[in-house]
Amino acid sequence: MREEVNAAVGFLTKLMRSKLNKECVEQFQCTLKALLQNHYQDHWFPELPHRGSGYRCIRINAQVMDPIVDVAVKESGIATDCSVGLFPDELTMWIDPSDVSYRIGESGSIGQIELRSGDQSQKRSPSILESRKILPSCKEQFTRGISHATQGYSINTLGLRPYAAFAS
């Protein structure tokens, strides 16, 4: 958990470095690390990395700051009125075992933050992005279900019209 929290906090502090003095950033970094590790203590499942993912999600938008990040900002002595401008208007971050991902913007693509481990031999559970390769997508599940349920029928005999949204 420590490695994932360090990666997430490192990413957030890089976003604020140009806007605050070094002491405030370091205080924020230490405070947020401690808060997140304490918050995730009973919600960390390396064998089931997706379990508790919503609980470990950090969400910041123009109107609302994530409660844990807000506490770290206040305890670091950063003025609350300037805290919203420290981060992008829309930022979502998922901190999961072996996977720290983020999205900037409501419809932005998902980026993955590289984890730096001192112990490379540590057993690694599959990341969210890797597990998506194993599991079929919603579209694949839907088309399989349709083809299985309609085996022996054509689209015309079922009275269905093909939709462009499902075309590959």
Distance CA 162, CA 145 (A): 15
- Segments in the chain forming alpha helices (H): 2-16, 22-40, 67-75, 80-83, 128-134, 138-149, 155-158
Contact residues for 137 (Cβ-Cβ < 8 A; gap 6+): none
pTM: 0.67
pLDDT at 162 over 80: no
* C-alpha distance across the termini of the chain, in Å: 39
pLDDT at 46 over 70: yes
pLDDT at 132 over 60: no
Q: What is the pLDDT of residues 68-114, one digit of tens each?
A: 999 999 998 888 777 768 888 899 999 999 899 999 988 888 889 98
**pLDDT higher for 85 or 46?**
46
Tell me which of 13-22, 39-48, 79-88 is least confident. Answer: 79-88
Locus of tokens 């976003």: 15
pLDDT, average across residues 16-32:
87
**What is the percent of the chain with per-residue pLDDT over 70, rounded to a whole number?**
68
Residue 102 neighbours by CB distance under 10 Å: 19
Distance CA 57, CA 83 (A): 19
C-alpha dist (Å) from residue 109 to 68, 74, 118, 150? 24, 30, 29, 35
Q: Which domains does the chain have, with CATH numbers?
A: 2-121 (3.90.640.90), 126-160 (no CATH)
